[in-house]
Structure 1
């Protein structure tokens, strides 16, 4: 009597766990904390001490983010690397030009990466936003163009300001100029986001196919 071969079925793999996300208020605190401390320390001790504190601050925020979510978004990583590189040059060479130039290079890189990726049919903005909003591809493309050009605008604006302002005035511009401009620009994108928003039920249905 021949024994029929038994077929083994591969055990079902558990669905991938959803990424943990930071509490919105904690996320804001982690993003603004190092910048605010940079501003305060610069006012009391000068740009070189402030730069050292900023470098420590970005490492601390990355550590807190990783401890909670077990992943790190691309944008904070790139920002931290540039802060460490240009901050290190600023302190080592005792030349504040490098920490000022970091802002120009950072925003230029973001603008070039976003718009350049579109040329190859890729959308990087959902990664930058860590999928915090849910819109269709047409919306992402429009939003990518807007943010890309805005980053180039900030890079150009910083280049002008770092050349004409004193160091203390530039720090004020970085905190009270660039930050409010970015917030206002983000708020101004609300109509576009709402127009292209994908309802939660529809997004869940698409994910099952």
Structure 2
């Protein structure tokens, strides 16, 4: 169910884009993302920072796309989001010595600190890769090619998540993460 909810705005965008064009597709993406976040909030009673950032960027870049009638804004939104994620993770880890992945998932996964650090480094590289590939497609290909890439390009995150799962599974301990006592 969660996976369907994650992909729903993209699928609706793609369908609306193919039937009515980039501007209707953008409006549908914006509405679907608002609905998606409302459902997530109703289920979890909160939105993560990533959810909030995604929603804000879709509304801002989508709004600019519609207001200025310029499709470049919506096409570059993923590049901005992935770059921001890479910078945030990198600065947190290598400047402030904070591991956001461990902070978010450490209560669910018992992993040694070096594994958390390698996972974060992998996320930084993955986000930079995704930012670069989206930027390349947005800059040098047609809007049709970009929209197709957005739909079929989901092979990259799926492959990354599977690879990450295999890597994490090798390092999981049999013990549950220790509860913090104060």
TM-score by length of 2: 0.92
Q: Which one of the candidate residues 120, 132, 137 is aligned to 2:113?
A: 137
More helix by share: 2
- State how many pairs are aligned: 180
Q: Which residue of 2 aligns with 1:166?
A: 142
Q: Unaligned stretches of 5+ in structure 2?
A: none
Larger radius of gyration: 1
Residues 82/208 of structure 1: CA separation in 2 closer, same or farther (3 Å cut) = closer
- Structure 1 position 81, deviation (Å): 0.5
1:187 aligns with 2:159: no
Q: Which one of the candidate residues 132, 157, 176 is aligned to 1:156?
A: 132
SS in 2 for 1:207: coil
Q: Unaligned stretches of 5+ in structure 1?
A: 1-24
Residues 162/113 of structure 1: CA separation in 2 closer, same or farther (3 Å cut) = same
Task: Name the Cα RMSD after superposition.
Answer: 1.8
TM-score by length of 1: 0.80
- CA contact 1:74–1:127 (8 Å) conserved in 2: no
- CA contact 2:110–2:176 (8 Å) conserved in 1: no
Residues 124/37 of structure 1: CA separation in 2 closer, same or farther (3 Å cut) = same
Q: Aligned partners of 2:106, 2:83: CA distance in 1, in Å?
A: 20
Q: Aligned partners of 1:131, 1:88: CA distance in 2, in Å?
A: 37
Q: Which residue of 1 aligns with 2:179?
A: 207
- CA contact 1:82–1:106 (8 Å) conserved in 2: yes
- Structure 1 position 128, deviation (Å): 5.8
Mapping of 1:85-124 within 5 angstroms?
85-119=60-94, 120-124=96-100
Residues 134/91 of structure 1: CA separation in 2 closer, same or farther (3 Å cut) = farther
- Give CA-to-partner distance per residue, 1:143-196, whole Å, 9 cap, x none: 00001111001111111111221111100001101x111101111123320232
- Structure 1 position 208, deviation (Å): 5.6
Q: Aligned partners of 1:28, 1:92: CA distance in 2, in Å?
A: 31
SS in 1 for 2:47: coil
Residues 93/127 of structure 1: CA separation in 2 closer, same or farther (3 Å cut) = farther
Q: Which residue of 2 aligns with 1:74?
A: 49
